[in-house]
Structure 1
Amino acid sequence: MTTGVLRNPDFLRFLSSHLASELGANISRLALPLVAVMVLRAGPAEVGLLASLQTAAYLVIGLPAGVWVDRMRRRRVMMVSDLVRFALIGSVPVAAELGLLSIQMLCVVALLAGTAQVFNDVADQTYLPRLVASPQLTDGNAKLEVVRSASFLSGPAVGGALVELVGATRTIAATAIGALASALFLSTIKTPDEPRRSSERQPLLQGIREGLGYLWRDRLLRMFAASSAVSNLSVSGVLGLSVLFLADVVELEPGLLGALLTTGGIGGLVGGLSAGWLSRRVGTARMTWLAAVTVPPFCLLLPMTQADWRAVFFAITSFMISWSATLGNVGQMTYRQTVTPEHMLGRVNGSVRFLVWGTMPLGALLGGLLAAQVGVRQALWILLTGRALAFVPLLFSPLPRMRAFDEAGEVQARS
Structure 2
Amino acid sequence: MLEGTARRNLWPLVLGQSVSLLGDYLGFFLALPVFVRDASGGSATQLGLLGTFETVAVLGFGLIAGLVIDRSRVRRTMVIADLARAAAFALLALAVALDVGEVWMAFAVAFLVGALGTLFDTGLEGVMPAVLTDDLLVTANSRLQVGRNLAQTGGFVLGGVLLATTGGIALALAVDAATYLVSAAAVLLLREIRPRSMAPPEPVLSSLREGLRTLWRLRPVRWATAAASLVNLAFAPLAAVIPIYVPEELGIEGTASLGLFFAGFAIIGAAGVVLGSRVIGVIGLGRTIVLGTVLLGAGATGAGFAHGWVGVVPFGVAAAGVSLSQVGFVTMRQRLTPPDRLGRVIAASRTIAWGGIPIGLMVGTPLADGIGMRALFGAGGLLIVLVTAVLLVSPLWVRTPVD
TM-score by length of 2: 0.86
Matched residue SS, 1:301: helix
The structure with the larger Rg is: 1
Q: Following the alignment from structure 1 to structure 2, what is the Cα–Cα distance between the partners of residues 276 and 362?
A: 33
Q: CA deviation at 1:182?
A: 0.9
Superposition pairs of residues 38-53 of structure 1, within 5 angstroms: 41-43=39-41, 44=43, 48-53=48-53
- Seen in structure 2, the aligned counterparts of structure 1 residues 267 and 230 have a Cα distance that, compared at 3 Å, is farther
The count of corresponding residues between Structure 1 and Structure 2 is 396
What corresponds to 2:20 in structure 1?
A: 21
The residue identity in structure 2 corresponding to 1:237 is P
1:222-263 deviation per Cα after TM superposition (whole angstroms, max 9, x unaligned): 110111112111111222344544444455555876655444
Per mean C-alpha deviation after superposition, the further-off stretch among 245-254 and 342-351 is: 245-254
Structure 1 position 388 matched with structure 2 position 388: no
The residue identity in structure 2 corresponding to 1:119 is L
- Seen in structure 2, the aligned counterparts of structure 1 residues 372 and 142 have a Cα distance that, compared at 3 Å, is same
Matched residue SS, 1:383: helix
Q: Following the alignment from structure 2 to structure 1, what is the Cα–Cα distance between the partners of residues 112 and 63?
A: 17
Q: Is the 8 A contact 2:153 2:267 kept in 1?
A: yes
1:163-185 deviation per Cα after TM superposition (whole angstroms, max 9, x unaligned): 42753223321111100111111
The residue identity in structure 2 corresponding to 1:382 is A
Q: Is the 8 A contact 2:237 2:365 kept in 1?
A: yes
1:60-119 deviation per Cα after TM superposition (whole angstroms, max 9, x unaligned): 111111111111122112111101112222223344566765444443333223211110
What corresponds to 1:127 in structure 2?
A: 127
Superposition pairs of residues 28-177 of structure 1, within 5 angstroms: 28=27, 29-35=29-35, 41-43=39-41, 44=43, 48-95=48-95, 101-163=101-163, 164=165, 167-177=168-178
Superposition pairs of residues 14-413 of structure 1, within 5 angstroms: 14-28=13-27, 29-35=29-35, 41-43=39-41, 44=43, 48-95=48-95, 101-163=101-163, 164=165, 167-191=168-192, 200-249=200-249, 251=251, 260-293=261-294, 296=297, 299-306=300-307, 312=310, 314-402=311-399, 405-406=402-403
Q: Following the alignment from structure 1 to structure 2, what is the Cα–Cα distance between the partners of residues 46 and 287?
A: 35
Q: Following the alignment from structure 2 to structure 1, what is the Cα–Cα distance between the partners of residues 296 and 273?
A: 16
Q: Is the 8 A contact 1:284 1:404 kept in 2?
A: no
The residue identity in structure 1 corresponding to 2:402 is F
Per mean C-alpha deviation after superposition, the further-off stretch among 336-345 and 206-215 is: 206-215
Q: CA deviation at 1:122?
A: 0.8
Q: Is the 8 A contact 1:246 1:252 kept in 2?
A: yes
Q: Following the alignment from structure 2 to structure 1, what is the Cα–Cα distance between the partners of residues 99 and 385?
A: 49
Q: CA deviation at 1:298?
A: 5.3
Gaps of 5+ in 1: 407-415
- Seen in structure 2, the aligned counterparts of structure 1 residues 295 and 64 have a Cα distance that, compared at 3 Å, is closer
- Seen in structure 2, the aligned counterparts of structure 1 residues 7 and 248 have a Cα distance that, compared at 3 Å, is same
Question: Could you say what the CA RMSD is over the residues aligned between the two structures, in angstroms?
Answer: 3.0
Q: Is the 8 A contact 1:5 1:136 kept in 2?
A: no
- Seen in structure 2, the aligned counterparts of structure 1 residues 325 and 5 have a Cα distance that, compared at 3 Å, is farther
The residue identity in structure 2 corresponding to 1:23 is L
Percent of paired sites with the same residue? 27
Per mean C-alpha deviation after superposition, the further-off stretch among 226-235 and 189-198 is: 189-198
Gaps of 5+ in 2: none
Q: Following the alignment from structure 1 to structure 2, what is the Cα–Cα distance between the partners of residues 145 and 73?
A: 25
The residue identity in structure 1 corresponding to 2:355 is G
The residue identity in structure 1 corresponding to 2:202 is Q
TM-score by length of 1: 0.84
1:183-238 deviation per Cα after TM superposition (whole angstroms, max 9, x unaligned): 1111122326856557x122222222222222122221111011111211111122
Matched residue SS, 2:304: helix
What corresponds to 1:411 in structure 2?
A: none
The residue identity in structure 2 corresponding to 1:315 is V
Q: Following the alignment from structure 1 to structure 2, what is the Cα–Cα distance between the partners of residues 159 and 299?
A: 24
Q: Is the 8 A contact 2:18 2:147 kept in 1?
A: yes
